[in-house]
Structure 1
C-alpha cells in the first residue's frame, strides 16, 4: 500500500502531475481534496491529514470515488484557462466535490494527494512521517504565471500555508508591494524545500514535461503505455501579456536560492534584462 503526498510551488504543475498520474494503472491522484479548518494547530492538522488519507483509501476502494477539486468531474491539467496576450487575470475553474474514478483498484493501489499550501507549511512535520515529493518550476515562469491568475498568489499570499506557519504569515504581512511579497514567498518556499527535502524528493516541472514517464516513475507508478507529448514553454511565449523584465530584476536578489534548483539561473535572468 503506497500513499504519497505532493506539494510544490503554486503554478508549478502539481495539477498537471495529478492529471498524468490518474492515467496510470492502479493509481489515484486527488487534487487539493482537504478542507482543513484554518485553526493554526499544526499537530492537529497533521492528524487530520492522516485521518483523511485513511478515509480516502477506504472510500475509493468501496465506492470508487473521493473528494477533490475538479472541473466538470475531471482533474484537468490546469485550474485556469489558457493564457492569452490580453491583459487580465484568469479565474479558477475549479469546483469541489466527489470525483469518480472508473479504473479498478487493488488493495495496494497508489494514492497521491496534492496540496501546495498546507503541505508546504507543514513540511517539517509531514516529511518524516509520509513519503512526499515537491514540484518546482523555473521561478521566472512561476512568477509570470502569478501575474496572470486571480488566485491569492497573484497578490503574494498563500493563505493555506500562512494559516499553519506563523513565520511565513509574519514575513508576508511585513511587505507592502505585491511583487516584493511574491518574490519573498517564492524564496521562502524554495528555501524550505531545500532545507527539509533531499534532492531525491524534489521534482522539476521541466523534467516532468520533457520525460513524463521517467518523472512519473518517481511516484512509484507504472506510466501508461502511450504517454502524452509535453514540452516546457519559454515564459515569454507562455505568458505573452506579461513583461518579464521587471520580474527578472525582482528575482535577482534570490537568484542564489534559485541556483540550487536551476544552475545558471542568475545568468538566465541577466539575459532577460
Structure 2
C-alpha cells in the first residue's frame, strides 16, 4: 500500500491492542488519535445502513479536523494529564476488573503543528462492521490489529463488557453475519470463538486494502507504527505484552484451543497452533 492518508481508521479485534495502537499514534509528531468517540457509537447503535454510517464517519472526520485547527475542545477518553491511555482496565476489585476511573471522557484541546496533521479515530467492531464501505470510499488509510486468539478470549472472559456476554451491539445492526452469531443459542465460548474468527475472516478478505498488524509485533517493536506513518514518537511509552496477564483464567486455555481448532479456520491462518510433540 502507498503512504498513509491523513485520515486514519484504527480498528481490530476487541481487546486486541487497538487502544495501545491508538495511544502510540497519538504520541507521534503532528498526530491525534481519538479513542472510541461516544457520539459515533450512538450512530452505530441506531444505524442499519452501512453506506449511511460511512458517510457520517467521513463527515465527522472533516468536522473534527476543523475543531482541532480552531483549538476547540474535543471530548475524548484521556488520562488526567491529557495523554492517551494504553489500557482501559485496572486491577480487579472484589474479583472483577473495572475500567480505570482516572481514564475517562474529557474535553481537551488537542494541539497540532499544522493543517496537514494526521487524524486517527479508533473503534473496533463499529468500523470493522463497515470495513468494505470504508475501503470503497477511498477516504482513509486503515489499520487493523489482531491478537493471539487464546489470550484475547481469556481477556473477554475476565471482564464485564458486551463481548464478555457474546454481544457487540454497535456492529450488529449492519453486519448480518455477526448478528447471526450473537443471536444464536450456542454456548458463550463457541459464540466468542466464532466472533473472533469472523473478524479474522473480514481482515483477511480485505488484507490488500488495509494494514493488518499483530499486537505481539507492536509490543516487540513499537517502531512499526512510526515507520508506517513516517512520524517520530514525541515521548517513549512503556509497553508490556498482556498475553500472560495474571488475571486471566488459564484453566480455560485448553478448552479455548479446542474450540478454535473446531470453529475458527481463519484465526488459525493468522495464528496457527503448534503441534504438541508426541511423548517418546
TM-score, length basis structure 1:
0.86
Are residue 211 (structure 1) and residue 247 (structure 2) matched? no
* Whole-angstrom CA distance in 2 between matches of 1:259 and 1:71: 36
1:125-170, Cα deviation, whole Å (9 max, x unpaired): 0023221110111111110110111110101111111122122112
1:155 aligns with 165
Shift in CA distance, 207/20, structure 1 to aligned 2, threshold 3 Å: same
Name the SS of the counterpart of 2:108 in structure 1: strand
Show the counterpart of 1:146.
Answer: 156
* C-alpha distance in 2 between matches for 1:120 and 1:24: 24
1:66 aligns with 2:110: no
Deviation string 1:184-227 (CA, Å, 9 cap, x unpaired) is 11011110111122286101111111110123322x14122653
User: Which one is further off, 151-160 or 208-217?
Assistant: 208-217
**CA distance in 2: counterparts of 1:65 and 1:105, whole angstroms:** 16
Is the 2:168–2:182 Cα contact (8 Å) retained in structure 1?
no
- In the other structure, the counterpart of 1:81 is 90
Question: Who is 1:239 aligned against?
Answer: 247
- 155, 169, 182: which one aligns with 1:172: 182
CA distance in 1, matches of 2:76, 2:230: 20
Task: With a CA cutoff of 8 Å and minimum separation of 6, indicate the structure with the bigger relative contact order.
Answer: 2
Provide structure 1 residue ranges, at least 5 long, that are not aligned to the other structure. none
Supply the distance in 2 between the matched residues of 1:136 and 1:46 (Cα, whole angstroms). Answer: 22
Q: How many residues of Structure 1 are paired with residues of Structure 2 in the alignment? A: 264
Q: Distance in 1 between matches of 2:207 and 2:259?
A: 26
Contact 2:7 2:141 in 1 (8 A): yes
Distance 1:125 1:199, change over 3 A: closer
Q: How big is the shift at 1:254?
A: 3.9
**Distance change >3 Å, CA 240–CA 154, structure 1 → 2:** closer
Question: Is this contact kept in 2: 1:87–1:241, CA < 8 A?
Answer: no
Query: Which residue in 1 is equivalent to 2:41?
Result: 35
Distance 1:239 1:255, change over 3 A: farther
Q: Unaligned stretches of 5+ in structure 2?
A: none
In the TM superposition, what are the counterparts of 1:15-34 in structure 2 within 5 Å?
A: 15-33=19-37, 34=40
Higher mean C-alpha deviation, range 72-81 or range 23-32: 72-81
Cα distance change on mapping 1:224 and 1:45 into 2, 3 Å? same
2:141 touches 2:210 (CA, 8 Å); kept in 1?
no
Give the corresponding residue for 1:197: 207
Distance in 2, Cα, partners of 1:198 & 1:51: 25
Equivalent residue, structure 2, for 1:8:
12
